[in-house]
Chains A and B, each alone.
Chain A
Amino acid sequence: MTFWLPLIVLFSSLVTGLIIFVLPEERSRLRTALNMAGASLKVAGVFLMAWGLLAHDVVYEVRFTMGLGFDFLLKVDLLSLAFVSLSSNLWFLTTLYAVGYLEGSPNRSRFFGFFSLCVTASTGVALAGNLITFFIFYEFLTLVTYPLVVHRGTPKALDAGRTYLWHAVTAGAVLFLAVVWLQVLSGPFDFIPGGALQSMEHLSRSDLTVIFALLIIGLGVKSALVPLHGWLPTAMIAPAPVSALLHAVAVVKAGAFGVMRVIFDVYGKDYASQLGVLDPLALVVVGTILFGSLRALMQEELKRRLAYSTVSQVSYIVLGAVALGPLATVGGLVHLVHQGIMKITLFFCAGILSEFLGIHRIDQMDGVGRRMPVTMALFSLAALGMIGVPPVAGFVSKWHLAQGGIQGGQEWVVAVLVVSSLLNAAYFLPILHACWFKAPAMDFGERNRQERGFITWREAPWTLMLPTLATALFSLAAGVFAGWEWSPLGVAEKIAAGRGGFP
């Protein structure tokens, strides 16, 4: 099983996706059944892997020689486990959501096919055991998300797709150059906790610095580091489940995850800080956090505001990687999970609002809390979490990041967090105020709901409400039960222990 389990986890969505492509459009029940079966199999596989790794120290490894001077390597360590369990669980929920969201719209076979391939790619990114395998899945991810972004085929969607593609493909090319260059200099190596390059003393420091810069540029586009973030707000045009996927499950996360891999497992945090490459990156990260929040403040469209919020929040993850204190590492790692579940809740809610009430802009949201109390309650919960109000998950991340900053003697981290949290509050609280306390500005008629002819569960079909409820509860639970050994925080502490002397 140590060989087959990672493959099962990877192929559960790949095979599902390929079968779904050839399904005729009308077979929606079969398609849903296949989708959910694949998603369940993946979740079960991931849990089995987690159990094996955490409880029995089983090493899951799949290795093929490619004949190109490197191995195709899938290897499960704690970091990959954190990402893969995030993406598999959220995929399960997002699929459910998408089934309800796209009910009756055209080209669903194509959509769900690429949806599955997209998750396959992000699983591959998570499980990749060396930089080249990582790159292969990273590029695959670009390819399979493009059809999702342009799914509606409108000129706006095509434009967004083009912007996304140019960013991602250019970044891919830069990353490719960096990966090949590194391979030429150092020979093949696998990810090693604590840094693979540390032991190779023949490498010139200037080469490594340039390669680091290229790697970060290549990964920074997907993780939306300013000024490489341009595609993310534009890609908002895609259907809500795709936004959820881009922001929380796959694309942005793959970028941030890649940055962590490079800093922790390729260079090693100590070696990277010796090289002096972390300080410039920290500057970019701080700029991104503040810039993203400021831009979010200016947005009138709900989804665009959420998008800029992602730009800012994802950089917390990278902040955890560049700040020196071990607790900051924990904070960054745990935010990988926390940001995912909170942001996906927000996007699920935004999708429900736009789909059933036609709300796209923030000034339309006045009083919507009375019309959709459950949805807006979940939205509020996640938004408060984003701001960092205890006991929701976001607080745990920010707390650890700030502690790490103090620990590493980098008090500026605390300052950045405080300013950013204030900005977060500034762009989320007015929404909450408007939706709960203002009088409705528009008539939220029943028309959309009846036209679509669903059996609704209070506010929206259960396929939409259930995933939203689940992720919101996760966000709360991750904060409340943070002290539990296997909570995201607990796992993050274990991961950090392997990478940089966490006590």
Chain B
Amino acid sequence: MNQMIWVVLLPFLGSVVCLLVHRKLVFALAMAASLGTLAVAAGLVAHVWEHAGARVELGGWAAPLGIALQLDGLAALFLLLTAVVGVLVGIYAGSFFAQTSELRPMGIHFWPLWLLLWGGLNGVYLCSDAFNAYVLLEISTLAAVGLTVLSGSTASLVAGLRYLLAAMFGSLMYLLGVALLYAGTGQLDFVLLSRSLTPQVHVVTAFGLMVFGLLLKSALLPFHFWLPPAHASAPAPVSAILSALVVKASFFLLLKIWFVVFDSLSGEGPGKMPGQLLGFLGSLAVVWGSFQAVRQWRLKSLIAYSTVGQLGYLFFIFPVLSFSHSPPHEALAWGGTVFHLFSHGLAKASLFLAAGCLLRAMGTDDLHAMRDIAGRMPVITFSLGVAGVSLMGLPPSAGFVAKWMLLRAVLASGQWWWAPVIVLGGLLTAAYVFKILAYTFVPSQGDAVRLQPVSLAMTFVPLALAMLCVLIGFRADEVILLLPAVPGCEMSAGGGGGP
């Protein structure tokens, strides 16, 4: 299982190499590193599929001293999502940054930063102790902010700084929580921590601080203020990465903290309240974020607000699983959440990349300018439509599978009050998706913008992402079978089975 380290090391190495080599070699080397990472990630998924999880102690040092990597079903799925989106965005970016002389220098900086970010994300998925998670999350944040300000425009600089300040504040709150936990228990490893926690004041405070910090970084309403400007002002491939992957990493850590470390605390009694609170904030995010998206007239702002709304769906897992230990609907809640992560990641990447194509072709992303796009850029319109269908949660798509499982979990848990929110969110999503699509059907009356040519790679990558989003809707079985290896499931079911 030593290839586990490569999924982190390969992107890091690639990042360093890309900084050093001649600019003409950068794309080839970066793609080599990306494909290599994809291959390793696929190997890890296959390993989890065949043998369940694995744990590697780096350098042979055991847990309290050394650094361990922990692979489980959830981590494997995140690795896979990141690798698939990463490779496809990479192909797109190669063509995107070659378009004009303005964009070319950005491309030189894009690759090292993106590979650094990728390595950091993979590290977050695999690391098994609270402090390394902090470091890796910081690496990803710094790289992500670097990517945000890539274009150097004033808007992106301000958005990037706002993002950086919010993210650093979140990380520090998380670190403060880790410090409190360490002061109380002398442990950092997730599993060891979970065994030595008792409901005391400092533990509850630490829980609050860590959850707060991670919520800030995963942009749950009302901590979403930094996200829309940052995601809307970055270049298209960067927006895709930020929306599809980066916010999910903090959410991943939140899942681990909540369901592995603080399971005994959040599972009973007082755990109901924080669960309901997160569900409530998630509902607000779904409604408010989608509503704001409906109000936007710039395509990229619209998609960015849609991210705020869609992220809300991820938080229903907390109330749904907070009422009892290993409830019968546990697999449904996990499956629904993970499927939502997947469908949102793929669909949102597809939308941002398609928006990048439109921006390139039209010179603006104003919805009013999109006259007769359906006739003139059919592939892009089709991608927008298919990705939109998945966001709405309509069949046939992964988004439908996600909504289906989430709604069932919600109803089966008896917490029916989340069901109207899920349904309403779907309606609002339909409203903004069709707001985009309706404008593509308006015929031009001679006043349409002249379109710049868009390269084949840029045209078909969004389509590929959107089609993937539909296709994984047919493969729910595999994902659900992978998930029993989720640490949260094992922990709450067996009360702490080892790796």
Contacts and interface: CB of A to CB of B under 8 A. Distances in A.
| A adjacent to B, CB under 8 Å | yes
Interface of A: 21, 65-69, 106-107, 110, 135-137, 139-140, 142-143, 146-147, 150-154, 158, 161-162, 165, 169-170, 172-174, 176-177, 180-181, 183-184
Closest 8 CB pairs of A and B: A67-B477, A136-B395, A67-B476, A153-B443, A173-B423, A169-B430, A184-B411, A180-B407
Contacts of B372: 153
Interface residues of B, number: 39
A367 B9 CA distance: 84
Please classify the interface of chain A as helix (H, G, I), strand (E, B), loop, or mixed, using the class held by over half of its residues. Answer: helix
* Chain B at the A interface: SS class: helix
Contacts of B404: 68, 180
A148 to B, nearest CB: 11
Contact of B438 (A66, A162, A169): A162
A109 to B, nearest CB: 8
A153 B382 contact: no
Contacts of B434: 146, 162, 165
B367 interface: no
A173 B443 contact: no
A180 B411 contact: yes
B333 to A, nearest CB: 13
B54 to A, nearest CB: 24
Contacts of B193: none
B396 A136 contact: yes
Contact of B408 (A67, A106, A183): A183
A180 B418 CA distance: 14
Given A165-B434, A180-B408, A68 B443 contact: no
Given A66-B474, A66-B476, A158-B438, A172 B394 contact: yes
Interface in B397-449: 400-401, 403-405, 407-408, 411-412, 419, 423-424, 426-427, 430, 434, 437-438, 441-443
Given A66-B476, A67-B477, A110 B423 contact: no
B419 A177 contact: yes
Given A21-B382, A106-B443, A150-B441, A176 B427 contact: no
B480 interface: yes
B80 to A, nearest CB: 17
Nearest to A177: B423
Contacts of A172: 394
Contacts of A153: 372, 441-443
A180 B329 CA distance: 13
B441 A158 contact: yes
B320 to A, nearest CB: 13
Contacts of B135: none
B441 A147 contact: yes
Interface in B322-365: none
Given A140-B395, A184-B408, A165 B441 contact: no
A40 B475 CA distance: 32
Contacts of B424: 173
Contacts of A169: 392, 426-427, 430
B308 interface: no
A143 B394 contact: yes
A19 B394 CA distance: 23
Interface string B464-497: 0000000000111111110000000000000000
Contact of B378 (A21, A140, A146, A184): A21
Contacts of A173: 423-424, 426-427
A184 B412 contact: yes
B87 interface: no
B378 A65 contact: no
Contacts of B407: 176-177, 180
A94 to B, nearest CB: 21
B374 interface: yes
A165 B476 contact: no
A148 B405 CA distance: 31
B389 interface: yes
A193 to B, nearest CB: 25
B375 interface: yes
Contacts of A170: 427
Contacts of A158: 438, 441-442
A154 B411 CA distance: 42
Given A150-B438, A169-B427, A184-B408, A106 B375 contact: yes
A268 B423 CA distance: 28
14 contacts: A66-B474, A67-B476, A67-B480, A68-B405, A110-B374, A140-B396, A152-B443, A153-B441, A154-B443, A161-B441, A162-B434, A165-B430, A173-B423, A177-B423
Nearest to B371: A153
A153 B376 CA distance: 14
Contacts of A183: 408
